Amino acid sequence: MEQEKILKEMSLEEKIHLLSGSMTIMGLDGIERFDIKPLRMSDATMGVRVTESKNPDGAVCFPCAAAMAATWNRELIHTLGEAIGEECINEDKDMILGPGLNIKRTPHCGRNFEYFSEDPYLAGELGAEYIKGVQEKGVGTSLKHFAMNNQELNRDYVSVEADERTMREIYLRPFEIAVKKAKPKTVMSAYNKVNSVYASENKYLLNDVLKNEWGFEGAVVSDWCAVHNIGFSVKAGLDVQMPSNPDIEKELKSALDKGIVTENDIDKAAMRVLKLLTESAPEKIKYDRKKQHEIAKKVSEESICLLKNDGILPIKEEKYGKINIVGDYAADPLICGGGSAEVKPDKSVVDSPFESIKAQLKDKSKLCYIENIIGKDAHRNGPIFPARGVITRSIQKDDLTIIFAGTTEYSECEATDRSDIHFDPHTDEMIRVICGCCDNVIVVMQSGDALIPCQWQERAKGIVQMWFAGEAGGAAI
């Protein structure tokens, strides 16, 4: 049945019901009497975030968006998008809530690992490839968070103030590129205000720019619990309030009575949702988790950044007495940040940097692993003096020492910002002590955004940014 015909046959109550999320699933309800099926959504930009995966090894955790951007490779990110589309199909999801194209205005933002870049062009181009790859598999995307959600602290109420040129050239530009090039199925409005008006009821953003100027034909959905007045939001161009609002019928009818919205406003929003619900479902695929893991590895390999090399790389193992691997992250890598983007595969499929390095060595007897000195809970490990003794006894001047260090677990996470962008003091001090014992030190950094190695950068001979590299990062490094 054609969408226009369906809309004409629908009651006002049925149309209003389309404009809110489902009470039973994460997504949108279908319409049984028109044989329209529900639309199932999933969190995450680094993969598919599910509580119970269809795969015994869990959904694949791909490298974070910051790592994707560091590849500068359109074709590879398109391939990654296709892989994430296949993850969605395998997990019975019709739409993924990503990618995030917010600009990295400050490295303190706790969610920067989910965003591509501080450069609008790079973010827009790679975001477009990600979207095209996912949607070519028949799976929808939700481009987020529109717009100017550049901090997590007080994100629900902060007003981001910017003039027209700043918005156009920096903050809106990546969204414009992705909307025009890739045509995402939905765009997600942000929590924050923009120039004192909530993004979820901002007519300038949602109607004037996104729909009328850029020609966006999909549906605008809100971030979760980001709608403050559904009448104002629908009038401004929002199509779906997420999650479910059990009072939406009463609230929109009241808005109708007060003249805040018209039935035509509701019809326009309902039509966009109808188009979304009546598009063909993704075709079933032959899912190959090993192939997915290899794609994750390829992205991680191309993302890794060499920050310093004072003649120590590539490693020639015969030059050194022992090869010391230091830090809990060598055995248990920090593969992603926290919040709605966190993907947790089974630990059995997460590549260990230590085991991967060990497999490369000709003389495995030279390898020494020193744990419980630097790691996820390094800042809780107490005074460094006992550990100093372990280091001075174990590490010699002519050894090679590879230190795996990074942000502490969940310091980069949705709904929180980082208090600073340095390593925690315990980790900094341990690296300085090791550099004092050994002339040949390489530091491998695991983080989703910038870290400042100012305490020891002159003394380490090699510094490598590994990022939140996903489940295959250990083999890639």
* Residue 223 among the catalytic residues: yes
| Selection from 181, 194, 203 nearest residue 145 by Cα | 194
Paired sense of beta strands 95-96 and 140-146, if any:
parallel
H or E segment at 12?
Answer: helix 12-18
Catalytic residue, candidates 223, 351, 399, 428: 223
Residues 6 or more apart whose CB falls under 8 angstroms from that of 208 comprise: none
Phi-psi region of 44 (alpha: psi -120 to 50; beta: other; left: phi over 0): left
H or E segment at 393?
Answer: helix 385-394
Cα gap 7→441, rounded to integer Å:
67
Cα gap 336→402, rounded to integer Å:
21
Question: Which residues are registered as beta bridge partners of 144?
Answer: 100
End-to-end CA distance of the chain: 53
Structure tokens at 468: 């939140």
Q: What are phi and psi of 242, to 5 degrees?
A: -115, 145
Secondary structure (3-state) at 324: strand
Paired sense of beta strands 367-370 and 323-326, if any:
parallel
Secondary structure (3-state) at 78: helix
Q: Where are the alpha helices (DSSP H) in 321-378?
A: 328-331, 353-360
Structure tokens at 347: 């630990």
Please give the positions annotated as active site: 223
